Amino acid sequence: MTNAQITIREKKLGLLIRDARMAERRSIKECADAIGIKPGVFRAYEEGRRAPSLPELEALVFFLKIPISQFWGNETVSDAPAPLERGDIVRLIALRHRMIGALIRQERTNANMSIRHLSAETGISQSRLKAYELGEKTVSVPELESILAAMGSRIETFFDQSGPVGEWMTGQQAMQKFTDLPKEFQEFVCQPVNRPYLELAMKLSSMSRDKLRSVAEGLLDITL
């Protein structure tokens, strides 16, 4: 890079750092403290008058919980959906309470179980169970577990699967499954050159047993 290109890169990096901080609603002081520098130095980073070292940038992304690739791409963190405001969260929780009630009723119907039977199994009054199903009362987690156990269901089936919270939970579960893989599997998946093999594996996994047998026989014919 020429000196001019380095200067441009410093300015762009500063804008990306500021955008990331603002998107995560952190102050300059919080970010500076997180990476062990003075607020004035961090401000200079954001203004493009100075640039952080790679270890400082690594510490910053760890603090902000964002991918480091953010600083080598063209998209800003603020392009992502805005975080939920308190009012949105309150409305979302109210909606989820009603959905939980409807799901309880659906599970009870599927289990061919009456309110009276469910009440006897759980020790929860019939009137309270009806209020839960109608979304008039909120059901606590222990009571929900008791209700689902009586119907032979699991609480995981009631986890939010859509909406901002559900999408976040799904992403976290996917990340956990990935980190649970052996290290050599993780490295294989992360290599772009291995993508065709992964796509092939996905196609094979969706095939019927007869189709897989046909593919295997075809491969044998080729190799023999």
> Would 50 be classed as within a structural domain?
yes
pLDDT of residue 124 exceeding 60: yes
- Element housing 169 (H / E): helix 163-180
> Would 167 be classed as within a structural domain?
no
Q: What's the pLDDT at 82? A: 55
* Chain position carrying tokens 């080598």: 72
Give CA–CA dist 219/224, Å, rounded: 9
Range of the domain at 66: 3-79
pTM: 0.55
More confident position, 219 or 186: 186
My answer on whether 91 and 66 are in the same domain is no
My answer on whether 51 and 102 are in the same domain is no
Give the mean model confidence (pLDDT) for residues 191-207.
84
State pLDDT tens for residues 145-197: 999 999 999 888 888 877 777 776 777 777 778 888 888 888 888 888 888 88
When pLDDT is cut at 50, 70 and 90, the band that residue 28 belongs to is very high
Give CA–CA dist 176/168, Å, rounded: 12
pLDDT of residue 90 exceeding 70: yes
